[in-house]
């Protein structure tokens, strides 16, 4: 019997922005900060390492020991999960962390230990600024899992050293200190399962070899921590064109925007407009404010759902506009 094709999917491990939260008012949408697990063509890829990364292990095959990670930017809420994820405490595991160099950073190389005086702006040094004294007692080199850092190499918007099995395009977003917007596709659109073992080391339900295609490669655009001003909106409209899933910052409401317009984020209304204009099949709004309660997000969702009903009626396409606010643990089949 042929083994089943693994479905391309995305798991929102964490969707909160700025800092993690907890309590009765945040149960539905969750309080963990941004981390997203992508599986395309049977291969896993992690985007950002917020506190949502603490639920990574239960969403990975037990045989998966080496995992590629794309870091959009090294602000605290996007890397804090490295400190406590169970993946980091297992010997034999390793993370290949890809990020961009920025200027003006002084800190410790993340694998150099807490007594290092290394300076510079590569991704290891950016993360090392947190994982060093007095902010943290040890460097990542002390963890049982191995951490390997890679500079994102870009030519004409294409990531030249993308993780195996993935095609990645990179756009510079609009955020203090810089941020990478990623468009990620499976490199081939096929999920090969040989002798019951998938590309990430997981076990298929049945033995045998299956190298069928799932059709055209699925595409994900990850646009967190980005102000969607007119110029950036125009660039992203083309960059995200016809993607299967757009994950987009929508931290603020329209009424809050005048006060927070210089904070490097956007409104959920603008995220909806971008998704509609670029032809995204699905939209999940993330980076929820740490003050945003379930009740508030539910109220926003009601408004958004009414907007989508109108869009579907105008287009005569009841299958379009799967738009919603992302929830921690949500699994999206592409």
Q: What is the pLDDT of residue 265?
A: 95
Determine the angle formed by the axes of helices 230-239 and 268-278, rounding to 10 degrees. 40
Q: Residue 127 and residue 333: Cα distance in Å, rounded?
A: 31
132 occurs within a structural domain: no
Interval 213-253: pLDDT, tens: 456 789 999 999 999 999 999 999 999 999 999 999 999 99
Domain count of the fold of the chain: 1
Cis amide prior to 134 (ω within 30 degrees): yes
Q: Are 293 and 334 in contact (CB under 8 A)?
A: no
Q: Is the pLDDT of residue 316 over 60?
A: yes
Identify whether 120 is part of a domain.
no
| Three-class DSSP category at 283 | strand
Domain enclosing residue 272, as ranges:
9-100+152-333
What's the pLDDT tens digit per position in 164-193?
Answer: 999 999 999 999 989 999 999 997 543 333
* CA 130/CA 236 separation, integer angstroms: 31
149 pLDDT band, cuts 50/70/90, is very high
Within 13 A of 304's CA, how many CA atoms are on the CB side? 27
Domain with 34 in it: what CATH number?
Answer: 3.60.15.10
Q: Identify whether 194 is part of a domain.
A: yes
Using CA atoms in the order 86, 146, 8, 155, what is the torsion angle rounded to 10 degrees?
A: 140
Let me know if residue 282 belongs to a domain: yes
Q: Specify if 146 maps to a domain.
A: no
Tokens of 175: 């955020």
Residue 249 lies in a domain: yes
Judged on CB neighbours under 10 Å (0-12, 13-18, 19+), 39 is buried
Nearest-CA neighbor of 111 among 83, 89, 140? 140
Q: Which residue is associated with the tokens 């990620």?
A: 184
* 2 assigned to some structural domain: no
Q: Is the dihedral of CA 113, 117, 118, 123 positive or negative?
A: positive
Quick check: is 242 in a domain?
yes
| Local confidence band at 102 (pLDDT 50, 70, 90 cut-offs) | confident
């Amino acid at each position: 019997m042929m083994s089943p094709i693994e479905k391309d999917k995305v798991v929102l491990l964490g969707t909160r922005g700025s800092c993690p939260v907890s309590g009765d008012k945040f149960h539905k949408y969750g309080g963990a900060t941004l981390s997203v697990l992508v599986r395309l063509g049977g291969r896993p890829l992690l985007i950002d390492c917020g506190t949502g990364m603490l639920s990574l292990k239960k969403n990975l095959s037990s045989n998966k020991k080496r995992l590629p990670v794309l870091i959009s930017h090294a602000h605290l809420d996007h890397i804090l999960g490295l400190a406590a994820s169970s993946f980091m405490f297992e010997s034999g595991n390793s993370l290949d962390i890809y990020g961009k160099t920025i200027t003006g950073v002084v800190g410790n190389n993340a694998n150099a230990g807490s007594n290092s005086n290394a300076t510079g702006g590569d991704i290891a040094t950016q993360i090392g600024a947190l994982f060093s004294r007095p902010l943290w007692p040890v460097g990542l080199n002390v963890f049982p899992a191995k951490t390997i850092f890679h500079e994102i190499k870009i030519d004409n918007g294409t990531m030249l050293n993308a993780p195996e099995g993935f095609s990645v395009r990179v756009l510079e977003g609009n955020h203090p200190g810089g941020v990478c917007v990623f468009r990620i596709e499976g490199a081939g659109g096929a999920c090969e399962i040989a002798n019951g073992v998938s590309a990430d080391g997981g076990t298929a339900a049945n033995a045998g070899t299956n190298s069928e295609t799932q059709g055209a490669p699925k595409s994900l655009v990850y646009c967190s921590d980005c102000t969607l001003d007119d110029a950036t909106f125009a660039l992203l409209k083309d960059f995200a064109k016809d993607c299967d899933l757009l994950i987009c910052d929508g931290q603020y409401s329209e009424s809050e925007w005048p006060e927070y317009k210089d904070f490097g984020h956007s409104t959920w209304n603008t995220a909806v407009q971008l998704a509609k204009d670029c032809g995204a099949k699905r939209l999940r709004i993330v980076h929820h404010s740490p003050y945003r309660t379930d009740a508030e997000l539910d109220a926003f969702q009601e408004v958004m759902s009414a907007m989508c009903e109108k869009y579907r009626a105008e287009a005569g396409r009841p299958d379009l506009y799967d738009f919603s606010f992302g929830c921690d643990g949500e699994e999206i089949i592409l």
